[in-house]
Amino acid sequence: MMDPEQWLAQYDKRLAEVASRAKDASARLRQVGGTASSPRGEVTVRVSASGTLEDLTLTPAARGLESDELARLILDTTRRARREVSVQIDGLSTRYLGEGPALEVIRQHLPAGVPAGNDPDDDDYFANPPEITR
């Protein structure tokens, strides 16, 4: 049988380790963000860890695009940045939580709305084209 003081010392040590890991995870999650540019560079976006658009940069070349093409580029580029954030969050969450129910809940709420690492291919793009609003 373990001495109560020894048990308490081990418990305190474990709590300190958990608190340290939580602090580290929190600091790393605060640094998460995604940036993406359109294939020809007309559009660059930056999104936060929640997937919220934080910055949008349009180069002069964007002025030569039709409005619907520019809208599509902005939406597609933002989706790519959000996928980048999802991959970062998934990686950090896996590192700190490991596989399990908590990780599955996080994956269900990733900013991109798609599982991390599940980049759509050309077939997916044409089967599910982006919605363009006017």
pLDDT in tens, 38-48: 999 999 999 99
Residue 19, CA distances (Å) to 13, 35, 57, 114 in order:
10, 31, 39, 30
Residue-wise pLDDT for 2-59, tens only, equals 788 888 888 899 899 888 888 888 888 888 889 999 999 999 999 998 888 999 999 9
Whole-structure pTM value: 0.68
Q: Looking at residue 45, what is its pLDDT?
A: 96
Instruction: Convert 93-110 to b/e letters by CB count within 10 Å (16 or more is b).
Output: beebeeeeeeeeebbeeb
Q: How confident is the model at residue 78 (pLDDT cuts 50, 70, 90)?
A: very high
